Amino acid sequence: MTRTLGDGLRWVELGTGLCERALASIPVGRLGEPSELAGWSRAHVVAHLDGNARALTNLVRWATTGIETPMYSSMEQRNADIAAGAVLAEDILRGRFEESASLLADGLGSITDWSAEVRTAQGRTVPVSEVPWMRSREVMVHAVDLLGGVEFTDLPDDLLLALAQDIAAKRSVDGTGPSLLLLNRDGVQVAQVQGVGETVTLSASAAELTAYLSGRDPSLGPALPAWL
């Protein structure tokens, strides 16, 4: 399956809407409660999404001006910003999420040359057309992590498939986890993970496979190393 720029732009909008839906369902005063992610409250997740949108807006600026603007000044700074954001007053944090999501949307709307190259926080050089996909992953998976009633089954099937393939490819490069063959309910291959040991075949829905591969539902198959 080949994902297109149009897919990425559509998924950013959909995923942002899912985060908004989750946030709207979480009563004011309860962002401090745990999220799906170990050690992170819901507020940490929101602060991370806020920082991610601003970081990706830096890449958009880089692409449109040619002036090198990295996502983060350092990983320490990224993490410090998340910790600081997580203890902001809740209305301010919620406001920052909205503000940064619309800054990024405006930035993406201003791009005329999608082939302009930028460098990600992981040091990969990519065309700026990868930015919508980078944001899609974040808003879609973290919408679920907020524990505000959004589940993997709420994510569109084409996104789930693209995400399963993306995670499987990253896990294959790492290669330290189990070898996996992932099939849908009809027995059609969704993704494959190169790893160690005899290949384990798993058959499940796209939502179940992606939840498992992303480390959100360990019940489906053998234990996986952390992802991201």
Residue ranges that bind Zn ion, judged by CB under 5 A:
138
Smallest gap from residue 181 Cβ to Zn ion (A): 27
Rounded Cα–Cα distance for residues 71 and 122 (Å): 10
Smallest gap from residue 101 Cβ to Zn ion (A): 14
What is the maximal distance between C-alpha atoms in the chain? Answer: 50
Please say whether the beta carbons of 200 and 178 come within 8 A: yes
Smallest gap from residue 22 Cβ to Zn ion (A): 15
Q: Which is nearer to Zn ion, 23 or 204 (CB)?
A: 23
Name the DSSP letter for residue 41. Answer: B
Smallest gap from residue 142 Cβ to Zn ion (A): 6
Judged by DSSP in three states, 220 sits in: coil
Q: Which is nearer to Zn ion, 136 or 179 (CB)?
A: 136
- Write down the residue that tokens 């910790």 correspond to: 83
Q: Which is nearer to Zn ion, 75 or 185 (CB)?
A: 75
Q: Which is nearer to Zn ion, 130 or 138 (CB)?
A: 138
Task: Kindly report the backbone phi and psi dihedral angles of residue 197, in degrees, each rounded to the nearest multiple of 5, phi listed first.
Answer: 80, 180
Segment (H or E) for 57:
helix 42-65
Residue number of the CB atom closest to Zn ion: 138
